[in-house]
Structure 1
Amino acid sequence: MTTLSIGTAVPDFEAASTGDKTITLSDFLGKNVVIYFYPKDNTPGCTQEGIAFRDHIDEFNAFNTVILGVSRDSVKVHEGFKCKQAFPFDLLSDKDETLCNLFGVIKMKNMYGKQVRGIERSTFLIDEQGILRHEWRGVKVKNHVAEVLQELKILTQ
């Protein structure tokens, strides 16, 4: 379960990223950060979600906001997904579930009649000082990016 709560600092973390980088949260101090967790690259819902963030990148940039996508896929798989979909943001590999556990997004899910551990589609908004300001859990892709942008608008007023 997550130890994070709204209004508290998110601990610095480190993760392997597309672009042959290692990213830390502290890399983005002074910027807002949207971290979205999704189950798997190259699946319909995850592709739609990434495209929605991609298609609104100028609005996120206007709010001084970085987007990071996270799943348990490898960096190699992420590279292909990012390239194929022309995502202008990095995808982080969380094979060991460190970030998933920090943010409490691993849930038991039904897949083809079996219980499996998987990522619950979730998004987190972290402000310029590294404070968790908003979270969305059990995200439905439709209209989600608009909800995130609305919270950013409120946060930056």
Structure 2
Amino acid sequence: MHTLEQEKEQSPLEYIEQLDRRMGWKDTDLTLYERVHAVQSVFPEEVESYLNVKAALETNLKVDRVDEPLMYIHGKGFEFQQFGIANSHDFNDETLVAYTLALPNQPLISGHFDPEKTVHPLHDLEKNNRLEKPTLEALEEHWHNTLLEDEKSLFSKRSAPLIERHL
């Protein structure tokens, strides 16, 4: 009998199909929340692998072509986005936020959190000591730069009509 560890050597699709069979999910329509919690209750060590594989399959991410921090928010309908953009989503209406982080020359990192207890993925990564401090600081800088760019863009859109009126 194969163990899940051996199954990780399978293709991502084979891994998902095997996990689906083990979980009894064939022909079931479960939400992401239900799937993550089911995996966590039966195979807690598999949650990150499960999310990593789902993200790679759903987005066709080529990990060897990642040249900047990217993040995928599961269930949002977006592809991998720049980290700062993905981390800025409003997560207040979610019951569970599952994310996958792609960093240059590193394996994927996935996690999940309850938005009532954690604000955004960066907060979850920091709170659970998932990354080394220099990496966390670099991600925080990416996020802050994105927020600054958004503010500059918003300011220039607001000030453009004022400038036009004075001309």
State the TM-score, normalized to the length of structure 2: 0.28
Say which structure is richer in strand.
1
State the TM-score, normalized to the length of structure 1: 0.30
User: Relative CO higher for 1 or 2, CA cutoff 8 Å, sep ≥ 6?
Assistant: 1
Say which structure is richer in helix.
2
